[in-house]
């Protein structure tokens, strides 16, 4: 083969005769590359204002035309085959799309497809879904909100790829699905990444924009608080960062896994992970860190996903601090991961990066157009019906004449013209009259039809007014959004935690300096650790409405704190575990800080320098019994953070306090009949076990219970030694008992 000479670039040789072609690279890009790039952008990877990509829209519309809104499920293979009339990309691609929309895959807050069978999980790349011939599906009832009005000309239809049928260009979603359904796509030269938001919050934000189009981004932040992922997790909230995302449509935020420490098994159960990672990626990273000897705290780790849901378990070595380990894992693995936002949406066929406010504006414009078209369609149908009934009304004047005209007409084609001439009606009216069955040519039938004329006139008038009045259209959409929120709203799954309240791993294993701090613990479960210098600058404590301080004092950072909760559990932490704050701050919320169970509340905090036997916890129960447990019973080997069975669960706990052998405390016990007694904690003997049911303090009548127990007698006024004295306001109706008052006899 002869060598190519310099200057021969662009020449193509075929056979003995050389054909020379020259084409600028710009023309090549324009003619060959640009059509492909635009096709990927417009018809594949970027979602439109209805929140769907073309593949999703074609699939859901096919299922809608198959009648799968109602009735039993059908095989997914059947749906895939039918969808090929609109989507020619092949069965595997269609089935991949279907899987992500199902309830079983758990990738959406509000799934569009009700599924049966194995559809894998979005948080696992190895958990494969079953073949389409084994699985079944139908549309979820929630889909009624994305197809509302589609049969009433709410959106445009275009021919499919081979002109054998038609498909909608958009779906007339009655809520801002673009913000509710997550969407990630990579096109040519651009991409889209839209995080999901809570449906109820999104509807509220859209309603606010409909009421006040001048609503600012900052106002929307107070309504649409933050993204909400179907996998839950903890979102590290930075208002400035979130405001930038809402304003520009670009930015990122971080999401942490949610975990629970099991002191019995000395293991950590990770229950929720960030949406952008997978369990295989986390396990591989942990495995690598263990091999590199960077995670000595873990003895074993495993995937424990089962029918109850997601769970990743880490077995810990003795003495491991689970919270510090998790901070380390947040730093070194994707148990804390970022979600990059790029709100790129197709608007009228053009890709645009929009903020949340701009997206809501575009959706409202789109939805107003859908509703106007739908109402116009309804108006046209009602107008046509009214016109026909008006023609029928003229027949009422002389039914016999109509019958005579029809009977005497020789040719069938002349019936309509003769009726038009005989009653001065037009052709559609005459056709309607001519098609009436013989049995309906009676006065009763015609009178019933006439009764509908007034209703139709009123309805057509109202529709005309609404179509021409944008304010009425907005009110119509607001009513739809309120109904959707009422029917389909769900609580937030992703917990919001302010970034400034979150601890981060600093890479140091050194013990913190043992400095002292002023500690304040409140009845609502907030703890403040304030330095002396900070307290001198501002001693006025900020508290939640209705909250009060129940313990305060100066403690060293190494002092251990014992928290007693209302779930028969005790939690241990050190003062240094709580971040320093100012008096004007709310402080750390102890149940969240110590990863307590949902709804669990800390009732008492005890600073412990030594688990001595002469210091006791006094528990008072609803059944009139009390138990006095020495503090030494709560001493444990190793660094356990939670103790179950902290006290008896036979009867509900109504009060817990501390005392000592040297200084017993007077306690007031109040019963449900608004009577009470003051007794000394010294009356209670010490129990050897934490779960002891205790000794009876008072005899209660049938149906009576103790409702309150407290060692803060100052709350009830100046109690004198005479036990017959009345307790002053604010509880003036409570009388103290003594031996003569036998309703509650002290043993």
Question: What residues are annotated to the active site?
Answer: 134
Identify the burial level of 300 via C-beta atoms within 10 angstroms of its C-beta, where 0-12 means exposed, 13-18 middle and 19 or more buried.
Answer: exposed
**CA gap 744, 674 in Å, rounded:** 12
**CA gap 697, 621 in Å, rounded:** 10
**CA gap 263, 243 in Å, rounded:** 40
Q: What are the beta bridge partners of residue 607? A: 561
- Give the 3-state secondary structure of 143-170: HHHHHCCHHHCCCCEEECCCCCCEEECC
User: Residue 83: which residues within 8 A CB-CB, separation 6 or more?
Assistant: 58, 59, 62, 94
CB 49 within 8 A of CB 347: yes
**CA gap 744, 742 in Å, rounded:** 5
Number of H helices, E strands in the chain: 20, 35
**CA gap 394, 423 in Å, rounded:** 7
8-state DSSP, 540: P
Q: What are the beta bridge partners of residue 709? A: 669
Omega of the bond prior to 215 within 30 degrees of 0, cis?
Answer: no
Of 85, 119, 125, the C-alpha closest to 102 is: 119
Other residues' Cβ atoms within 10 Å of the Cβ of residue 4: 10
Nearest-10 Cα torsion for 137, 143, 149, 151: 0
- Going along 49-133, which residue ranges are E strands? 74-75, 113-116
CB 604 within 8 A of CB 564: yes
Q: Which two tokens stand for residue 520?
A: 């304040």
Q: Three-state SS for 573?
A: strand
């Amino acid at each position: 083969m002869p060598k190519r000479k310099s200057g021969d670039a662009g020449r193509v040789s075929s056979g003995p005769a050389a054909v020379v072609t020259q084409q600028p690279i710009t023309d090549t890009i324009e003619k060959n590359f640009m059509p492909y790039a635009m096709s990927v952008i417009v018809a594949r990877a970027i979602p439109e204002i209805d929140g769907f990509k073309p593949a999703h829209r074609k699939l859901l519309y096919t299922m809608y035309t198959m009648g799968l809104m109602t009735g039993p499920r059908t095989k997914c293979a059947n749906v895939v085959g039918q969808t090929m009339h609109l989507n020619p990309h092949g069965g595997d691609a269609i089935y991949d799309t279907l899987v992500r929309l199902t309830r079983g895959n758990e990738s959406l807050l509000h799934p569009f497809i009700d599924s049966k069978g194995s559809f894998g999980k979005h948080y696992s790349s190895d958990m494969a879904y079953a073949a389409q011939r084994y699985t079944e599906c139908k549309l979820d009832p929630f889909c009624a909100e994305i197809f509302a009005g589609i049969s009433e000309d709410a959106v445009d239809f275009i021919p499919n790829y081979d002109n054998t049928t038609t498909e909608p260009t958009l779906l007339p979603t009655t809520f801002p699905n673009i913000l509710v359904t997550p969407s990630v796509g990579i096109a040519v030269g651009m991409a889209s990444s839209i995080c999901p938001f809570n449906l109820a919050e999104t509807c509220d934000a859209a309603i606010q924009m409909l009421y006040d189009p001048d609503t600012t981004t900052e106002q929307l932040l107070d309504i649409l608080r933050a993204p909400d992922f179907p996998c839950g997790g903890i979102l590290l909230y930075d208002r400035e960062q979130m405001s930038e995302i809402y304003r520009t449509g670009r930015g990122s935020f971080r999401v942490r896994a949610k975990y629970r420490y099991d002191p019995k098994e000395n293991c950590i159960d990770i229950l929720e992970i960030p949406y952008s990672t997978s369990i295989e990626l986390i396990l591989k990273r942990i495995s690598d860190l263990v091999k590199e000897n960077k995670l000595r705290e873990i003895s074993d780790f495993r995937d424990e996903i089962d029918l109850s849901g997601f769970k990743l378990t880490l077995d810990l070595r003795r003495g491991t601090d689970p919270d510090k380990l998790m901070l380390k894992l947040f730093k070194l693995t994707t148990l804390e991961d970022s979600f990059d936002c790029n709100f790129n949406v197709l608007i009228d066929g053009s890709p645009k990066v929009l903020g949340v406010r701009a997206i809501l504006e575009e959706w409202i414009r789109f939805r107003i157009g859908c509703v106007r078209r739908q109402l116009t369609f309804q108006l046209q149908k009602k107008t046509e019906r009214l016109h026909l009934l008006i023609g029928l009304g003229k027949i009422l004047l002389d039914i016999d004449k109509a019958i005579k005209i029809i009977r005497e007409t020789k040719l069938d084609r002349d019936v309509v013209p003769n009726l038009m001439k005989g009653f001065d009606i037009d052709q559609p009216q005459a056709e309607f009259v001519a098609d009436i069955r013989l049995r309906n040519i009676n006065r009763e039938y015609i009178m019933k039809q006439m009764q509908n004329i007034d209703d139709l006139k009123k309805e057509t008038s109202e529709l005309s007014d609404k179509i021409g009045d944008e304010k009425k259209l907005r009110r119509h959409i607001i009513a739809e959004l309120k109904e959707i929120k009422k029917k389909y709203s769900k609580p937030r799954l992703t917990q919001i935690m302010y970034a400034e309240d979150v601890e981060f791993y600093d890479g140091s294993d050194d013990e913190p300096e043992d400095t002292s701090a002023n500690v304040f613990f409140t009845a609502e479960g907030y703890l403040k650790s304030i330095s002396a210098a900070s307290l001198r600058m501002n001693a006025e404590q900020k508290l939640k409405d209705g909250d009060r301080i129940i313990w305060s004092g100066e403690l060293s950072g190494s002092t251990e704190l014992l928290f007693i909760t209302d779930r028969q559990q005790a939690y241990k932490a050190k003062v240094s575990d709580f971040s320093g704050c100012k008096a004007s701050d709310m402080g750390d919320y102890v149940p969240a800080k110590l990863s307590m169970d949902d709804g669990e509340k800390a009732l008492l905090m005890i600073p412990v320098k030594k688990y001595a036997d002469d210091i006791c916890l006094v528990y008072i129960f609803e059944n009139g019994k009390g138990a006095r447990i020495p503090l030494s019973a709560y001493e444990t080997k190793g660094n356990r953070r939670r103790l179950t069975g902290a006290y008896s669960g036979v009867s509900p706990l109504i009060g817990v306090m501390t005392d000592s052998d040297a200084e017993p405390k007077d306690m007031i016990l109040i019963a449900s009949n608004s009577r009470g007694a003051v007794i000394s904690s010294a009356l209670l003997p010490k129990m050897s076990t934490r779960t002891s049911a205790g000794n009876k303090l008072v005899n209660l009548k049938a149906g009576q219970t103790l409702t309150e127990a407290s060692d803060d007698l100052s709350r009830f006024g100046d109690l004198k030694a005479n036990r017959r004295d009345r307790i002053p306001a604010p509880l003036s109706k409570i009388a103290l008992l003594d031996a003569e008052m036998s309703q509650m006899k002290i043993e």
